[in-house]
């Protein structure tokens, strides 16, 4: 089963949804259809029980320093940017390393390629045996004689006769041989470390591994992180006061379709909400908000662009499978939306 996962950031600006999308991939072709895992990723995490994450408010990200990122510092920056969005999703505020952050976050990703030889296999398969007509022919010959009071007669006879039988088609079990083959997959391995800013001690560690056909770790790490992220402690400031903030009704997360360009992608649209009524769909990429390009903007900046009061409109330029579309959404109050739905 191919599996896809995406983080949610719910747009009652400042409030987050903890729900992940279904692990079953949609049959519909979308902007991110090519990013998948062969099966559910395996993740684990460890948290220091003596650390109170509710006291933390700020964080910074240090780039990874493995062999791949040392050779390619651009890759290190891209992975750090992705991790920044994950931490901002959890309610922490990004600051520079010089500003004494409460948390220092770093991430390491590597990918190993392994091949497996699958020997030939003989399997049973149903086989249809078509119907047929059978013709049966028979020959006969002999001598016949007859008597009467004053006469006697005799002679030879011969003849041919035929008949047909219709045999209907039927199903039966047969065998099929599958030739041997070599199958290879990439095994991306993701590790995230969180350190306390003051003592520089490791306070949280998360790891995950998946199976995929993607060689690019910038892409293959995303489905793993989107499962692992639920283990990262949330900051209670995420659910800040939202009085008078307009409700749009869609969730999103900043991700990348190619490893170089990051955009906010729609990860869910609630039925009957302003976003749903406007026609915004799952996995749409928001490439512009009120005329401002969104490429490579962090989650916090996207949130600022989306903030607005009830009754105010926000314009979107959406990229949907090769085409750009314009949408206008008018913010409503959450109470008005749910009153209408009920």
For the chain, what are the domain ranges? 42-114+185-328, 124-177
Fold of 42-114+185-328: Pdz3 Domain (2.30.42)
Q: Kindly tell me the burial class for residue 145, based on how many C-beta atoms sit within 10 Å of its own C-beta (0-12, 13-18, 19 or more).
A: exposed
Q: Cα angle vertex 10, ends 7, 14, to 5°? A: 115
**CA 111 – CA 208 distance, rounded (Å):** 12
Residue 106: CB atoms within 10 A of its CB come to: 19
**DSSP E strand boundaries for the chain:** 42-47, 58-61, 93-94, 103-118, 121-129, 132-147, 152-167, 170-178, 181-196, 202-209, 250-255, 263-269, 285-289, 292-293, 313-320, 323-330
- Write down the pLDDT at residue 139: 77
Per DSSP, the three-state class of 248 is coil
DSSP 72-133: -HHHHHHHHHHHHHHHHHTTPEE--GGG--SEEEEEEEEEEEEEEEE--EEEEEEEEE--EE
- Write down the pLDDT at residue 165: 85
- Write down the pLDDT at residue 19: 32
Residues of the chain with pLDDT under 50: 1-26, 240-243
- Write down the pLDDT at residue 255: 93
Residue 276: CB atoms within 10 A of its CB come to: 17
- Write down the pLDDT at residue 338: 79
pTM for this model (two decimals): 0.74
- Write down the pLDDT at residue 15: 34
Q: Kindly tell me the burial class for residue 300, based on how many C-beta atoms sit within 10 Å of its own C-beta (0-12, 13-18, 19 or more).
A: middle
């Amino acid at each position: 089963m191919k599996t896809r996962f995406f983080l949610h950031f719910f747009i009652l600006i400042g409030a987050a949804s903890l729900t992940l999308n279904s692990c079953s991939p949609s049959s519909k072709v979308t902007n991110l259809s090519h990013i998948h895992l062969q099966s559910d990723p395996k993740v684990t995490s460890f948290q220091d029980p003596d650390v109170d994450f509710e006291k933390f408010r700020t964080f910074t990200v240090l780039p990874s320093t493995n062999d791949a990122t040392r050779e390619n510092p651009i890759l290190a920056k891209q992975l750090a940017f992705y991790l920044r969005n994950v931490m901002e999703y959890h309610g922490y505020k990004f600051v520079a390393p010089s500003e004494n952050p409460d948390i220092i976050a770093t991430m390491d990703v590597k990918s190993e390629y392994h091949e497996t030889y699958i020997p030939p296999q003989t399997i049973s398969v149903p086989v249809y045996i078509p119907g047929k007509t059978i013709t049966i022919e028979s020959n006969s010959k002999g001598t016949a004689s007859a008597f009467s009071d004053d006469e006697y007669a005799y002679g030879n006879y011969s003849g041919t006769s035929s008949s047909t039988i219709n045999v209907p088609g039927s199903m039966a079990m047969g065998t099929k041989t599958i030739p041997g083959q070599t199958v290879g997959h990439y095994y991306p391995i993701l590790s995230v470390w969180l350190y306390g800013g003051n003592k520089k001690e490791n306070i949280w560690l998360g790891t995950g591994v998946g199976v995929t056909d993607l060689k690019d770790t910038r892409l293959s790490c995303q489905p793993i992180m989107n499962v692992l992220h639920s283990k990262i402690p949330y900051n209670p400031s995420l659910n800040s006061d939202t009085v008078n903030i307009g409700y749009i009704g869609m969730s999103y997360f900043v991700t990348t379709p190619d490893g170089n360009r990051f955009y906010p992608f729609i990860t869910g649209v609630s039925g009957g909400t302003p976003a749903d009524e406007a026609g915004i769909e799952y996995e749409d990429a928001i490439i512009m908000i009120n005329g401002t390009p969104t490429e490579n903007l962090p989650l916090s900046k996207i949130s600022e662009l989306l903030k607005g009061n009830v009754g105010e409109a926000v314009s979107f330029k959406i990229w949907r499978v090769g085409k750009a579309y314009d949408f206008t959404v008018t913010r409503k109050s959450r109470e008005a939306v749910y009153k209408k739905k009920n």
